[in-house]
């Protein structure tokens, strides 16, 4: 090793070491470049374009008419209310069904988890459209479920399961379930088994240990899963469109309707922008109560 001229000024090798550090951070940054470009092309530019469209009226003039209409017409408000109600109900039902499932998965020996997880994930890998229409077949008036229930005498006349809120919820819950179960399962696996043993040792019955130790410790997983499900529900289109049969109108369907019937890009964009803002508000509110990144990426 020889000493170069610039070293003689400062501390030994300080210049070289700084340069090496800089090089390293630039290399790391370069790795994320493709992703940054993709995000720009696929998300930032289209959303920005939609955003600007929403401030133009039908003649292309700058105006707030699209947002004005949304306040004036009660039907818009109703669509937003329905969207939030359906999203909330779906999330709630997902927790109700998903929590016991995730709990079961977290308690079975690890060697069986792979196989069981497959049953959770298998539908995940099937086309969304296929699953949605499969539900339609099962839920319709003379579908599998109605025929079965009548044959078994559970109910006498066909129950309306599709083309209404029932169908929408059944389909959405089924499709959203893995998004809840996976983070919840991960959170439950991280719970220290010895903490539960300690609870038992200190006198807690299995039920007390579950409610006072296990449930509170699994809450970050519940919150993470619910947040994902809720946010995905807000913009869900295919399943509610098919299984709701036009009776349950969500924002996404309203946007399609405006585009197909009126070809009004401005109004459709405004709806999209409001939905996006609403979603951000949900995330913002959630992040006020908990560390969002910790919830999403696992807390130790």
CA distances 191 to 103, 170, 188, 197, 221, Å, are 11, 31, 5, 12, 11
Return the number of the residue (198 or 281) whose C-beta is nearest other proteins: 198
277 binds other proteins (CB under 8 A): no
Query: Binders of other proteins: how many residues, by CB under 8 A?
Result: 19
Q: How far is the CB of 114 from other proteins (least distance, A)?
A: 22
Return the number of the residue (113 or 217) whose C-beta is nearest other proteins: 217
Q: How far is the CB of 215 from other proteins (least distance, A)?
A: 10
107 binds other proteins (CB under 8 A): no
294 binds other proteins (CB under 8 A): no
Copy the structure tokens of residue 165: 């809120």
Provide DSSP, 145-157.
Answer: HHHHHHHHTS-SS
Q: Which residues, in sequence order, are CB contacts of 279 under 8 Å at separation 6+?
A: 231, 234, 235
290 binds other proteins (CB under 8 A): no
**Ranges within 203-242 binding other proteins (CB under 8 A):** 203-206, 208-209, 212-213, 216-217
198 binds other proteins (CB under 8 A): yes
Please state, in angstroms and rounded to a whole number, the distance separating the CA atoms of residues 54 and 261.
17
Provide DSSP, 38-83.
Answer: HHIIIIIHHHHHHHHHTTB-TTS-B-SHHHHHHHH-HHHHHHHHHH
Q: How far is the CB of 191 from other proteins (least distance, A)?
A: 9
Please state, in angstroms and rounded to a whole number, the distance separating the CA atoms of residues 103 and 156.
36
Please state, in angstroms and rounded to a whole number, the distance separating the CA atoms of residues 243 and 83.
15
52 binds other proteins (CB under 8 A): no
Q: How many CB atoms lie within 10 A of CB 26?
A: 9
282 binds other proteins (CB under 8 A): no
Question: Which of the stretches 91-99, 177-185, 198-206, 278-286 binds other proteins when contact is defined by CB under 8 A?
Answer: 198-206
287 binds other proteins (CB under 8 A): no
**Ranges within 155-194 binding other proteins (CB under 8 A):** 192, 194
Q: Which residues bind other proteins (CB under 8 A)?
A: 192, 194-195, 197-206, 208-209, 212-213, 216-217
């Amino acid at each position: 090793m020889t000493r170069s001229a610039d070293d003689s000024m400062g501390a030994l090798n300080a210049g070289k070491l700084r340069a090496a550090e800089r090089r390293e951070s630039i290399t790391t940054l370069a790795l994320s470049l493709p992703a940054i470009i993709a995000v720009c092309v696929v998300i930032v530019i289209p959303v920005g374009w939609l955003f600007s469209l929403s401030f133009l009226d039908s003649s292309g003039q700058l105006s707030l008419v699209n947002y004005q209409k949304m306040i004036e017409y009660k039907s818009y408000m109703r669509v937003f209310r329905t969207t939030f109600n359906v999203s909330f109900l779906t999330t709630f039902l997902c927790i109700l069904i998903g929590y016991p499932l995730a709990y079961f998965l977290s308690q079975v020996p690890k060697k069986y988890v792979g196989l069981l997880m497959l049953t959770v994930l298998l539908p995940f890998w099937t086309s969304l459209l296929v699953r949605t229409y499969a539900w339609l077949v099962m839920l319709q008036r003379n579908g599998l479920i109605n025929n079965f229930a009548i044959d078994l005498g559970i109910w006498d006349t066909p129950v309306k399961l599709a083309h209404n809120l029932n169908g929408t919820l059944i389909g959405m819950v089924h499709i959203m379930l893995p998004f809840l179960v996976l983070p919840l399962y991960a959170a439950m696996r991280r719970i220290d088994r010895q903490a539960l043993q300690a609870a038992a040792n200190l006198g807690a019955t299995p039920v007390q240990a579950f409610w006072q130790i296990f449930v509170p410790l699994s809450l970050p997983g519940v919150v993470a899963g619910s947040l994902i499900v809720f946010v995905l529900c807000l913009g869900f289109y295919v399943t509610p469109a098919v299984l709701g049969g036009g009776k349950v109108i969500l924002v996404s369907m309203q946007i399609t309707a405006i585009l197909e019937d009126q070809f009004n890009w401005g109004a459709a964009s405004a709806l999209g922008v409001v939905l996006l803002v609403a979603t951000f508000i949900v995330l913002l509110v959630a992040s006020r109560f908990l560390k969002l990144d910790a919830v999403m990426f696992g807390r130790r």
